[in-house]
A and B are shown apart, each in its own frame.
Chain A
Amino acid sequence: MAEVFFFIAGIGAVCGAVGVVMVRNPFYSVLALVFHLLSLAALFLLLQAQFVAAAQVVVYAGAVMVLYVFVVAYVGGSNPAQLRAPVGRGQQVIAVLFGLALFVELAIAILGSGLKALSTDGPTVSSTFGSPENIGQLLLTTFLLPFEIASFLLLIAAVGAVVLARRRGGIGADEADRVAVMDFRLPPDIGTMAEAVGGRSTREPLELGSGGGESTRTDGPEGGW
């Protein structure tokens, strides 16, 4: 029975990988990768890695792929104005030859390996192998330092992505008339962000009789982002 599941999941994973590379539209590439990741999770289950399989489905096929779909929809991957000429024939042929050579090399390494246990089903493992308890205990005892470093790495990557993708150059001319929610909540003598970067004010500031509010204004177009 395990053989049947292995071949279904393995063929699904390889077909998904081929689909990612071959499909023209990046949106369909992302969908092929989701299929590939789900097949891979089935392979992980066959290898008694329940927690990793669940994390693969929830985190990878769920969260990361949603991020991909949003970016593909935002950038518009099939926009014909940005679609360049396809890759030259020579590069494609060389890439396929390189892939084949790499696969042959890896297959020789696997088949010629001196590890006798490779040709067996592996030892019988206890039922708790790969369970959340087992993984959690390993992560919080033996591998505590890598765990903490990985969490810091995620934080740095999140901050870096925000810094990379943030808006530069202020607010565009067509956006100066936009009214934000905060415009209604702020005190009347506080300037808006549109004013700070030289746009038109979205609301008329209240006339202050004795000029008490002047010190709280930060004006000047050079103070933009």
Chain B
Amino acid sequence: MLHLLLFFIFAAICVAGAINLLAQKHPINSALSLIVVMGSLAVLYLLLGAEFVAALQLIVYAGAVMVLFVFVIMLLNAGVEERTEHGSRVAIVLGVPGLIIGLGIVAWVVSHLAGLDKIAIGGPTIMNGAEVFGNPQAVGRLLFLDYLLPFEVTSILILIAIMGAVVLARREE
């Protein structure tokens, strides 16, 4: 009961943050809305019993990535964005609800096919006789046993991206 109540509160905050992110004119307000979205997503992970994923969401996204966003906005001193005034009124009135309904249907079909809608809110979830996600042991086992090769390949990819960024940043010398 409490889980369901918390789910609706934080889901509402999450959606409101996402809408605010698009509606705000100043980049720093948008970035702060994105932090709210990340934080409420972390709470939703927590409600699913995935406390490790929730903590990582907070540390990596709300903590590290968004600090970099805010840092860049501050450094570039980005101002209020300019808006074009000739948007279609029909697109806003009909298009936005239509898009939401369409995405909702797609999400429902996908989650139904993948069997994700059987996951209950709250507590560790049992699928195929084992706890699927959430605690550090489960995540570690998945990363370093079952998906070791993709994990290592991804880290090399990220390393290459970092080196590429360094090379691009130093090009003028």
Q: Do A and B originate from a single complex?
A: no
